[in-house]
Homo-oligomer: A and B are copies of this chain.
């Protein structure tokens, strides 16, 4: 027996921002799951900027995550419901996080590290899609970047860029929950208003509104100690100007470069790194995986105490996924971008 499902494959390597013809929705037949496999019906797809890198033709690349092959389905985090299980410990109806998104259903092998399976605890009173946000890699990226990469300490002033994005808004909130002064930047007046009024940052600005260093100096007259970088390029260069001696950069994402077809120069003011004893440390959250469950316990506590704001951009159905990716890459989302396949 097979089941017929739709999935999104890469048709060709995009030039710059992806366009509709770079991908294609095709039908495939999935076999019955073999021993050790699950058949999972996807309920939520996570739309993440890193997908763009793996489509190829980008100035960036991820050594341990190869690019998608032409004709093969895209991958990305998803939440699915087990509809058939041939794996001990997994039952029909269980919800799992896994890496085989961009398709309606998938055969999942929990023993395959590439499938990155996490079984959501049964009976928890939390919407499963939180595992693509606060309880997922987005929240953990924010936490690991602040505490394990930037070594956030009492009194530090934090700047986070792309602060209305999926990771950025959680960085702002987690830093605020820990009592820090937080400066947030984003790309529109609406986002800035949301950051100020709902997220509760201490200062926020639209980076289009003037010279970045001047905007930062106005928002943080005494300088900053930690910069959580989701953007790269001119944002990173501006941080090197305003960071105080001993300051740290948690280099998380370089979204300003993902659609670039030519190399994007790095900051020209690297001497500031020497003169002010700065540290630039890059990371992928998976590199800190041993702290993930500690973080999740903390985050569940915040949810129980209703201390975290949560905002999602939800689009309906697989056909909407490619445009949702373009929205994320061009900054049209506020909060986490999800595709609802229920």
Contact = CB atoms under 8 A, between A and B. Distances in A.
Interface of A: 53, 59-64, 232, 236-237, 251-254, 257, 263-284, 287
A52 to B, nearest CB: 12
Contacts of A278: 281-282
B263 A268 contact: yes
Nearest to A273: B282
A254 B281 CA distance: 19
Contact of A275 (B64, B232, B257): B64
Q: Which of A61, A254, A266 has the most CB of B within 10 A?
A: A266
A288 B257 CA distance: 35
Shortest beta-carbon contacts, A-B, top 6 = A266-B266, A265-B265, A273-B282, A263-B268, A60-B271, A274-B282
Given A265-B265, A280-B280, A236 B275 contact: no
Contact of A279 (B267, B271, B272, B279): B279
Contacts of A62: 271, 275
A267 B266 contact: yes
Which one of A271, A278, A280 has the greatest number of beta carbons of chain B within 10 Å?
A271
B283 A254 contact: no
Contacts of A265: 265-266, 268
A284 B60 CA distance: 31
A257 B271 contact: yes
Given A265-B266, A268-B59, A282 B277 contact: yes
Contacts of A251: 270, 273-274
Contact of A287 (B254, B267, B277): B277
A275 B61 contact: yes
Contacts of A281: 273, 277-280
